[in-house]
Structure 1
């Protein structure tokens, strides 16, 4: 395999907004106060944080190839309040949308704010509902959030009516999950061995340092590479330092995703595609490029590379 040279940026949704909300709440809130709290909270977008101020967070993205990334709390359906975690105080749920310059795509998310023991409130993880959907209704009753929305199948014929969908969500150990999917999420989390950032840290290391970091005896691979079978990775070198990491392990987390998941999910988590051809996508990830190889028939990811510039 020949070395590949790529460009570098961080994923759009993976960037943090550093502003802090000027908000302090009492332990007991009215429904309106809970709604206001939801519009002034920090939410976890698949591993990174974005803070809303009065329902909005705008980030200057010129250095990363686009002018801005805008996250907005929807006015309709309005945020809803109720007890999500059984502590007797009001929590809230709201819908968020994200859009960026240079793209017509609009992504919609569900998130919640939860009460803390000290009376403050914290934002939950944000769960992706879909791209360019039409939200219809948001409700919270008996600890369950229900979202009704319209969606259009990309393979549908022109003029075909949108498909109505309804999904329910709950808080499980302070994490927002789809109802009925909690057990699958827990099993998936338990089987994740390492995160992508573990392998990003290998880039630039000398051979001895890389082997020590993985703590596994490698097998010699083609073109001077080293194969770590148990870890599910292979590395190559340039000027005696790691410049490529091949990833095939199915238990490795890609910011909440894993190999075998659909390529569309990776697009939503890692931001704009910087290069694309049949069976291959590239994203800017930190100070390197993330290259995904996928099955063209199923759209499911097969393996990945972290490539140094």
Structure 2
């Protein structure tokens, strides 16, 4: 993959602003009378903005809260606290018809191209379903033409519309999922690990499709992934999550050139380099141990139990995300002055 950025012109206007988002899940005990005995803090105070026309990559290990953040932004999960300001309005308290109207402007592309398509529906019905849900399928001829155009826009042939999901490969199924997400002409797409289930050779094709659609349609992406090579290829900026919090956010090239948080350093060091000589000379930022449980996060900095540069303050005081330049912020006591 090349390092070319997607082509749309970026705007300073944020299409999405997330402020101190929290998603906590209560753990209850008892059958007849249930009582809360603990809380899983899946997302615990996440803040970021996405400008219109850009791609924000959200990366981190499994269990870091990436997918939960995406589901909460789309309001498929109810936030415990915080604000989700989309196109100028806080959608966190929205319910019912009010929420349904917002969902026309923001859509999800799911991770599993096998499980996200109804095997009993034809591709025409799958791609056209959002139009039916929102009552936009009144003119049958226009709907049929729009569905055919959507199928063609993702690189599939219109005559495939009457086939069923099992007749397609994984990459083709993901293209169908992308076509469905575009049916309502959204301005924001949340892509949750959209290529992780695909072969490497197919991943590049789907990523290039995302970039082409962004350039043609002026889309904005929240792109969730754990594959750093994929994120580097498609993202404008990157946010790194660890145990429910963002620990660093920066311009893509700045993050890869000079990671500031020890966790980000370790993630960058894990990305293989094609040149064996360069790979042999690279410094290793190895982290030991396992990710702590979100049920019982450690006090202070949640990364201090695995950080090779942890200080005494890291064990008692939680570092907050602090801007160190207009495009960069980091949550680390090493960068507090």
Q: Tell me the TM-score normalized by structure 1.
A: 0.29
By relative contact order (CA 8 Å, sep 6+), the higher-ranking structure is: 2
Which of the pair is proportionally richer in helix? 2
Q: TM-score, normalised by structure 2?
A: 0.27
